A = this chain, B = another copy of it.
C-alpha cells in the first residue's frame, strides 16, 4: 500500500507573524516516480528566516509560494523510490523538498550527501545553505584580514555562529551579538568567539565600544533594525558590511526601518553589500570542501537545534522569529528515528 503524505500548505498570506490559520495541513497519496523522478522520505526540514519572505506576494530573488501550494523548504531525507539513473533507494539527499513527509521530484533537483562525513542534519547546517551563506558572505564580501575585528549579529544562529568561527580561522577577532546570557555563553564558550554582546541586556553601542575599541572592520548583519544601526555607528575606516538578512524586520507590518546611520558609510569610506547564498551557487563545491575539512579537523562546531514532530512545523518556524533557537533550527520527522 502506497504511503500517505502529509503536507503543510500556505493557506493565506500572513500579516506580521504567521498564524496557525495561515497554514493548511493536507494529506494525499505520494504517487510513483515519473521519468527521471525520485520519491524522497523527508527526515529533517530546515527552518530558515528566508521562508518568511517567500510567503509574501512580492518581487524578490525567487517567486513567492502560491496560496494552496506546499510550503517551500530545504530538507534532507532518504530516497525511497527512484526512476533516476544516479539515485537509488537508501541514498541520503538534500534539496527543496518542501514541508511534507514525502517529496516526489526531479532527481536532478536533489543533491546526494555523504553521511559518513557528517550526520544528515549537518548537511542542512554547516555543510548546507547556512554554511555556504556564512562562508561566501564573510569571505567574499567581508574579506576579513588577520587582526581585524569581525562583528556578527544573530551570533547564536545557524549562519552567525559559523561566521564568527570562520573569522577566527582566518586570524580575525570575532565579536557576536545575541539575545540572552545563555546564548552568549554558547557563542563564547562553545563556538570560541572573543566576546558576545547580549542585546536583551541593553546597551549594544556600549558593548561595541568595549569590545571593538578600534571600530568594526567587518560587520555581518542577519538582523537589521537597531542593531544594524548600532554597528554602522561603530564602523572603522574602510569597513565592509555584509547584508545577509534582517530577521527583525521580516514580520514588520509597517514599512521596514532603514538604517538611519547609513551616512557612517560616507564618513568612513565603508561599503555595504547584500547577497543571497544562491549568488554563489557555482562555487558551492569550494565552500563544502573547505568547510568539510575544517569540520573533519575539529576546527568548526556545528550546532543543530532539533524539534521533533511534523505537526510542530508552524510553531517551530516561529522559534526563529522569537529568537529561541541556538544553532540551526531543524524539524525532525518520524522517519528520522530510523537513523
> Quick check: is A115 within 8 A (CB to CB) of the other chain?
no
Given that A270-B273, A273-B270, A273-B271 are contacting pairs, would A262 and B265 also be in contact in the complex, using a CB cutoff of 8 Å?
A: no
**Nearest chain B CB to A160 CB, angstrom units:** 16
**Chain A residues in contact with chain B, CB under 8 A?**
60-61, 224, 229, 243-246, 249, 255-276, 279
Q: How far is the CA of A258 from the CA of B265 in the complex (A)?
A: 12
**Nearest chain B CB to A61 CB, angstrom units:** 5
Contacts of A60 in B (CB 8 A): 267
Q: A244-B266, A246-B263 are in contact. List 12 more A-B contacts (CB 8 A).
A: A255-B260, A256-B260, A256-B262, A258-B262, A265-B273, A265-B274, A266-B275, A269-B276, A269-B279, A270-B273, A271-B271, A272-B273
Chain B residue nearest to A238 (CB atoms) is: B279
Asked whether, in the complex, the Cβ of B279 is within 8 Å of the Cβ of A274, the reply is no
Asked whether, in the complex, the Cβ of A262 is within 8 Å of the Cβ of B276, the reply is no
Cβ-neighbour of A267 out of B244, B263, B265, B274 (below 8 A):
B274
Cβ-neighbour of A266 out of B262, B266, B268, B276 (below 8 A):
B276
User: Looking at A61, A229, A261, A263, which has the most chain B CB atoms within 10 Å of its CB?
Assistant: A263
Asked whether, in the complex, the Cβ of B61 is within 8 Å of the Cβ of A267, the reply is yes
Contacts of A229 in B (CB 8 A): 258
Contacts of A270 in B (CB 8 A): 273-274
Contacts of A267 in B (CB 8 A): 60-61, 274, 276
Q: How far is the CA of A272 from the CA of B221 in the complex (A)?
A: 15
Contacts of A246 in B (CB 8 A): 263, 266
Contacts of A256 in B (CB 8 A): 260-263
**Sample (12) of A-B pairs whose CB atoms are under 8 Å apart:** A229-B258, A243-B263, A244-B266, A245-B266, A249-B263, A258-B259, A266-B274, A266-B276, A268-B274, A269-B273, A270-B273, A271-B274
Chain B residue nearest to A271 (CB atoms) is: B273
Cβ-neighbour of A243 out of B244, B245, B266 (below 8 A):
B266
Q: How far is the CA of A246 from the CA of B265 in the complex (A)?
A: 12
Q: How far is the CA of A244 from the CA of B267 in the complex (A)?
A: 10
Contacts of A261 in B (CB 8 A): 256, 258
**Nearest chain B CB to A244 CB, angstrom units:** 7
**Nearest chain B CB to A131 CB, angstrom units:** 18
| Among all A-B residue pairs, the 3 with the closest Cβ atoms | A258-B258, A265-B274, A266-B274
Cβ-neighbour of A265 out of B263, B266, B268, B272 (below 8 A):
B272
Cβ-neighbour of A260 out of B61, B257, B263, B265 (below 8 A):
B257
Contacts of A259 in B (CB 8 A): 258-259, 262
User: Looking at A260, A268, A272, A274, which has the most chain B CB atoms within 10 Å of its CB?
Assistant: A274
Asked whether, in the complex, the Cβ of B274 is within 8 Å of the Cβ of A263, the reply is yes
Asked whether, in the complex, the Cβ of A271 is within 8 Å of the Cβ of B272, the reply is yes
Contacts of A264 in B (CB 8 A): 274
